[in-house]
A = this chain, B = another copy of it.
Amino acid sequence: MKMHNPPHPGEVLRELCLQPLGLTVTEAAKALGVSRKTLSSILNCRAGISPEMAVRLSIAFGTTAESWLSQQLHYDLAKAEGKRRTLRVKKLAAA
């Protein structure tokens, strides 16, 4: 069940929301109530989906905020898991 290469939510947003509707970044940013740069950063994988942004997306595109944050979670988690072996942690309970 592990996602080895979870896509950045920005890619999904662009391909599943903006492109099908023929929306430009400028238009979408305006509708979402954020700056063009903010949306651009997300679309280009330079920023993550914040909880507030997830709610904005859920309003604009009729999806659930949870689905966006869940994608972001798996993306962030994949990176954190990559550092698992570098963390010095003692086991406190049965693994």
Contact = CB atoms under 8 A, between A and B. Distances in A.
Interface string A48-75: 0011101110011110011001100110
Q: Is the interface of A mostly helix, strand, loop or mixed?
A: helix
Interface string A1-40: 0000000000000000100010100001011110000000
A81 B56 CA distance: 10
A28 to B, nearest CB: 7
Chain A interface: which size bin? 35 or more
Interface of A: 17, 21, 23, 28, 30-33, 50-52, 54-56, 59-62, 65-66, 69-70, 73-74, 76-77, 79-81, 83-84, 87-95
